[in-house]
Each structure stands twice: as C-alpha cells, then as structure tokens.
Homo-oligomer: A and B are copies of this chain.
C-alpha cells in the first residue's frame, strides 16, 4: 500500500498521476480536512473535492479549482438575494455539496460519505478524508486569528502570517479507514504531495499518532516550491513571513523528523548537495505538473525514490 497525503490543487495534480501508475487497491490518498467549513448549511470540503475532481477527470484545468464547464447561475441568484457570495459555488459543483449534505443527513460519517461520493465519481483507489472529527485550520496573523477560508478567499491571503493552529486536533483521531494500514508491515511508505506544508500537510501530521507512525515508515516529500516560488497559492508568502527561504531545503527542514527523501525540481538542482548533507535521498526532475503526462512521470519518480528509501531502511 502507498499512502499519499494531500491538500488541494498541487496534491490533486500528483494524485491524478498516482492513479495512473499505482494499482487502485494499493493506493490510499489521504486528504486534508482543515480547510473544510460550513457555508449556507452545506459542508464544503475544498481539498477533498479538488482531489476527487482531478482524479475523476472532472476538474477545470484552467481555473485550477472546481469543475470543468462550470456555470454560476446559482451564485448570481444568491447575490441578487443579498447573500454574500465571497465563496464561489458553481452550479455543477453544487451537485457535489448537495449529495454530500444528503449523505451526511442520512447518518453517514464523513469518511463513509466521501467513500460513497468517490465511488459515484468512478474513483477506484481509496480517497479518504484525514479524519471524521472536525479540525479547523486557523491562521494566526498580524490582524488576529482568521479561519482558513477567511484568510485565503475572503482576505486573499493579505494579512501577514505569524503561525497556525488546528482547532480541535487534540480531540481528532485519524480516520481508521486509512490509519489502520499506516504501519511498517502494511504500507510501502508515505508521499507528501506538493501541497502547502503549513496548511495542507501539517493538519494531517498533527492528528494523534500520525507523526510517530511516520517515523517508522519511508516518507518522501515532493517539493511544493520551484525556483524560489510556490506554483500556486500563498506558500511563498507564508514561508517569507515565517522567516524561511522559499527553497526545497526549507521544506525538508520543515519535515526533518519524518523525512527520508525529497523530490525537487530541476530548477532547484543546486540545492541537492545541501539536501544530501541533511541525510536525505534526493530525486531531481520536472515537478511543474502542466499536463497529466508530467503528473504521471512525477508520480513514477516519487514512487521510485520512496522504494529506494524503503530498501535503504530494510538494509
């Protein structure tokens, strides 16, 4: 079994490569739920939906989030009813939120509801939310604490970041659906997708027992930064505000207690020696997933590095 920890967009792009190269029954994609929130009575799960849409081929490549061939008539009508439409819900995307609402209201827990939705989208691998218990990412900023979506969507990531906390994480257990198989005898290792370490991967790592379990299995990160920039999202800005460089070295340092290897972009090859000095195995390749082909090749290289890390641990 391969486990992949993922946030939204960047993780979704690697996930669509992983499903092409890993047999479905051997792949477990674990998705951050720290960004989830309630909106207009619906349970919105942005990262889960991004990964599901990408894996199912329903995603909008251009926009980078939401569904292809989307329209916005419900949103327009909400606005004309005086509803603040700061969070954009597309008409096709709405079907996902309604089905989820209906499944949750029928009594399913989040994991079971997500499994049913993945099944209906024709997703064969395990695609699973990190936890059933609610965990809410809160961004600590120079303007005070902000729930993640407020920081990210409403404020456009403008406040200066001072830190993060994951409200509820102390009472949240990782979903048994994936955590049971995260043991040295059952997993070939964990890929940390090229998602934001602070707000996409750290919530998963913060769940009780996860970080310590990761010390016993091979872990490879795919760097979410390329040539001093983040591909999408506020990571570069966050790293700067947290006093870190926007380099694969900073990413490796962030994960230092759990990491065996790291995949970096060719444009960051100069960092390879320093990463090796930190005791890491390093793969260098194209990590900018501009097409499904690149995603597939990056998935292949990442799995190869993960296998090398596993072999090295076994030796």
Contacts and interface: CB of A to CB of B under 8 A. Distances in A.
Interface of A: 40-42, 67, 69-71, 73-78, 80-83, 91-96, 98-99, 101-102, 104-105, 117, 120-121
19 contacts: A40-B98, A40-B99, A40-B101, A41-B98, A41-B101, A41-B104, A42-B98, A67-B77, A71-B71, A74-B98, A76-B95, A77-B93, A77-B94, A81-B99, A81-B120, A81-B121, A83-B95, A83-B99, A91-B94
A77 B96 CA distance: 8
B99 A74 contact: no
A121 to B, nearest CB: 7
Contacts of A73: 69-71, 73, 91-92
Number of copies: 2
Contacts of A94: 74, 77, 91, 94
B71 A91 contact: yes
Contacts of A40: 98-99, 101-102
Contact of A91 (B74, B99, B105): B74
A12 to B, nearest CB: 18
Contacts of A70: 73
B78 A95 contact: yes
A54 to B, nearest CB: 16
Give the dominant DSSP class at A's interface.
helix
Given A41-B101, A91-B91, 18 more contacts: A40-B98, A41-B104, A42-B98, A67-B77, A69-B73, A71-B73, A74-B95, A74-B98, A76-B92, A76-B95, A77-B92, A77-B96, A78-B95, A81-B96, A81-B117, A81-B120, A81-B121, A82-B120
A118 to B, nearest CB: 11
Between A71, A77, A80, A101, the greatest number of chain B beta carbons within 10 A of the residue's beta carbon is seen for A77
Contacts of A117: 81
A199 to B, nearest CB: 26
Nearest to A92: B77
A78 B82 CA distance: 26
A105 B71 contact: no
Contacts of A98: 40-42, 74, 78, 83
